[in-house]
């Protein structure tokens, strides 16, 4: 079998396991364009990258009806390059970054959808905001002035561990953050509805905990180079 055929077989076996109401986001970082195209030809439309340069190149070379998500750590000086076409920015972890996205989106008269990244992992290495920091942002005058970003929900990453109980607790915590923030800040809007959690190793636990978007790389595309 060719690499494309292997990936397509993986995808056909895996995609039906994701419930209809959960988005399967194919994490195509480091994956070659012809392999992404093979998965596109199976009907997949949502793909995610974690490097601006790769996202821009793949956007240019692949079909224009792909919804491109950004899942990495986004530097403010690179925001401008993805604003014209990005579907959803998953990892916003500061007001400064959100304000930069807003400024660049304003220049081209777009409203860009974003998720705040929350720190839920017991591991210290993971990024993300504390709930106190998120509340400070949402209560600020500066946030109230941003008209070209739309906060659609939260994103988070659990600890990379075999300890199922720990992962279950972390996802439950993120779901609680989501419910609390929705109630306190977004009760009147319908767009605050996304909870991006779950990767190849823990997506089933994430779906049980209320995920609306699972970000899957390895299970579809194989181990990364
Ligand atoms: C790479 C990555 C994923 C996908 O991870 P897999 O374990 O390969 O499914 C999901 N989310 C983020 C933020 C990533 O960087």
Spacing of C-alpha 173 from chain mean position? 18
Q: Which mean pLDDT values do the consecutive 10-residue runs of the chain (225 residues) have?
A: 95 97 98 98 98 98 98 96 98 97 98 97 83 97 98 96 95 98 98 98 98 98 88
- Å from CA of 192 to ligand 1 middle: 23
Determine whether the shortest distance from the Cβ of 119 to ligand 1 is under 6 A. Answer: no
pLDDT at 122: 84
pLDDT at 121: 87
Q: Which of 10, 14, 27 to mutate to test the pocket of ligand 1 (most atoms within 8 A of CB)?
A: 27
pLDDT at 220: 97
**How distant, in Å, are the alpha carbons of 29, 102, 118, 121, 218 from that of 133?**
29, 19, 10, 16, 32
Contact (CB, 8 A) for 127 and 73: yes
- Decide: pTM greater than 0.85: yes
pLDDT at 224: 85
pLDDT at 123: 78
pLDDT at 15: 98
Closest ligand 1 atom to 27 CA:
4
Q: Which two tokens stand for residue 74?
A: 């986004």
pLDDT at 214: 98
Contact (CB, 8 A) for 44 and 15: yes
Spacing of C-alpha 65 from chain mean position? 18
Determine whether the shortest distance from the Cβ of 218 to ligand 1 is under 6 A. Answer: yes
Contact (CB, 8 A) for 208 and 225: no
pLDDT at 124: 74
**How distant, in Å, are the alpha carbons of 16, 43, 67, 140, 212 from that of 20?**
9, 14, 18, 37, 10
Closest-CA residue, ligand 1 atom 13, reads: 71
pLDDT at 135: 98
- Å from CA of 159 to ligand 1 middle: 12
pLDDT at 225: 74
């Amino acid at each position: 079998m060719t690499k494309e055929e292997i990936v397509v077989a993986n995808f056909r076996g895996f995609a039906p396991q994701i419930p209809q109401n959960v988005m399967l986001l194919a994490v195509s970082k480091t994956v070659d364009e012809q392999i992404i195209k093979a998965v596109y030809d199976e009907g997949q439309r949502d793909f995610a990258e974690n490097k601006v340069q790769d996202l821009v190149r793949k956007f240019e070379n692949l079909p224009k009806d792909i919804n491109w998500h950004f899942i990495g750590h986004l530097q403010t000086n690179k925001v401008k390059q993805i604003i014209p076409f990005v579907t959803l920015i998953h990892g916003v972890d500061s007001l400064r970054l959100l304000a930069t996205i807003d400024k660049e989106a304003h220049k081209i008269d777009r409203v860009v959808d974003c998720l705040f990244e929350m720190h839920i992992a017991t591991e210290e290495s993971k990024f993300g905001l504390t709930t106190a920091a998120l509340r400070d942002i949402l209560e600020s005058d500066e946030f109230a002035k941003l008209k070209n970003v739309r906060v659609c929900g939260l994103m988070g990453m659990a600890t990379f561990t075999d300890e199922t109980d720990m992962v279950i607790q972390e996802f439950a915590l993120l779901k609680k953050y989501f419910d609390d923030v929705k109630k306190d800040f977004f009760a009147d809007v319908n767009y605050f509805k996304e909870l991006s959690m779950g990767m190849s190793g823990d997506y089933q636990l994430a779906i049980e905990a209320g995920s609306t978007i699972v970000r899957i790389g390895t299970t579809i595309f194989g181990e990364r180079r």
